[in-house]
Amino acid sequence: MKAFVINRYSKKDPLHLGEMPRPELRDDDVLIEVRAASLNVLDSKIKSGEFKLTIPYRMPLVLGHDVAGIVTQVGSRVRQFKVGDEVYSRPPDRRIGTFAEFIAVNENNVALKPKNVTMEDAASIPLVGLTVWQALVERANLKNGQKVFIQAGSGGVGSLAIQLAKHIGATVATTTSSANADLVKSLGADLVIDYKKDDFEKILQNYDVVLHSQDAATLDKSLRVLKPGGTLVSISGPPDPAFAREIGAPWLVKLIVRLLSSGVRRKAARLDLKYSFLFMRADGQQLRTITQLVETGALRAVIDRIFPFESTNEALTYIESGRAKGKVVVTIK
């Protein structure tokens, strides 16, 4: 099968389009013929080696964390899906590889594609959908009537996080450029702050939850807009000891992670706040819940550009530019 692979970690080297063997199908797997896959900043970070200490991969590696496609084969123990089903998935970390013609995924990490969207729309949802569900619902326990600050509201995560927070019944503040203000308002943002002109720390106060996706300076300021007892969930770091335990990291990595996050954890404790680092996990049951929200109209895909599969390198470069509004998708005809 055709696939985009890397043979070593590198920031500069492009993905290589080559021939790879079809994935081996385990008893609990479904083999998905890929129709569309979306790209994420995570793909770029893995390619450059940012996660090689915590999640080492064997080379050659096929990148890609989101897929929508058709089941073409099922393992002997599969009970939830059949050949011909239209599905979507965020494969687990050790078994990524959606920038390819086929991928094998454990059935517990797969869900039926929402009936009311295209393959491209469906492919844009799993990683960001699971990220915002696990951040806002699982970690922050966001409730109706609370206030949440979602950074970078026009990005892939932010655009879906705004919609989920509004569905829950929260008041939503977000940052974006003036060019994207109408987009985030259409998604449900109540307060839109132009990050190029205004300092959100001088505008926001007594918030219950912050979904942090930016740099360390923004993290410090975000802690100060929360009220005592509030929660900051970060998807951009620093990782915390709970994360190191979840991935079964060796003792040295656990020590490094503890040191990296010691400063922010101390600041949060001093302010009576909860700090949590989230590296989302694959979860088919949660994805089925997200399917229901998509089919009822509570969530909708936000796609900036769709590239042909052969232009996956160009799509990844566009993601790395930071200019994408919503998601970027590659499609295989």
CATH number, domain at 91? 3.90.180.10
C-alpha–C-alpha distance, residues 13 and 49, integer Å: 12
- pTM metric for this prediction: 0.96
The dihedral sign for the CA sequence 235, 4, 82, 112: positive
153 lies in the same domain as 107 = no
Q: How far apart are the first and last CA of the chain?
A: 14
181 lies in the same domain as 316 = no
138 lies in the same domain as 269 = yes
Report if residue 294 sits inside a domain. Answer: no
The dihedral sign for the CA sequence 179, 181, 187, 192: positive
Report if residue 209 sits inside a domain. Answer: yes
What is the side-by-side strand order in the sheet with 171-176? 191-194, 171-176, 147-150, 207-212, 226-234, 274-277
Report if residue 29 sits inside a domain. Answer: yes
84 lies in the same domain as 148 = no
191 lies in the same domain as 238 = yes
Domain count, the chain: 2
- How many other C-beta atoms lie within 10 A of the C-beta of residue 300? 19
150 lies in the same domain as 273 = yes
CATH number of the CATH domain containing 263: 3.40.50.720
C-alpha–C-alpha distance, residues 265 and 29, integer Å: 39
The dihedral sign for the CA sequence 85, 91, 95, 97: positive
* Cβ 214 vs Cβ 236: under 8 Å: yes
250 lies in the same domain as 180 = yes
Report if residue 138 sits inside a domain. Answer: yes
11 lies in the same domain as 36 = yes
- Average pLDDT of adjacent 10-residue blocks, the chain of 333 residues: 97 95 97 98 95 88 98 98 98 96 98 98 98 98 98 97 98 97 98 96 97 95 98 95 89 92 96 96 97 98 98 97 94 91
* Cβ 159 vs Cβ 182: under 8 Å: no
Residues sharing a CB contact under 8 Å with residue 281, sequence separation 6 or more, in sequence order: 92, 93, 130, 134
Report if residue 286 sits inside a domain. Answer: no
* Cβ 323 vs Cβ 301: under 8 Å: no
118 lies in the same domain as 132 = no
Report if residue 110 sits inside a domain. Answer: yes
114 lies in the same domain as 150 = no
30 lies in the same domain as 60 = yes
229 CB-contact burial (10 Å; exposed 0-12 / middle 13-18 / buried 19+): exposed
C-alpha–C-alpha distance, residues 37 and 155, integer Å: 17
Report if residue 283 sits inside a domain. Answer: no
Residue 222 domain boundaries: 127-277
Q: What is the pLDDT of residue 56?
A: 85
Residue in the block written with tokens 């308002």: 185
Report, in angstroms and rounded to the nearest whole number, the Rg of the chain calculated over CA atoms: 19
- Quick one: tokens of 214? 């930016």
Report if residue 7 sits inside a domain. Answer: yes
Closest to 196 measured CA to CA, from 210, 211, 180: 180
Q: What is the pLDDT of residue 51?
A: 86
Q: What is the pLDDT of residue 303?
A: 98
259 lies in the same domain as 308 = no
Q: What is the pLDDT of residue 6?
A: 97
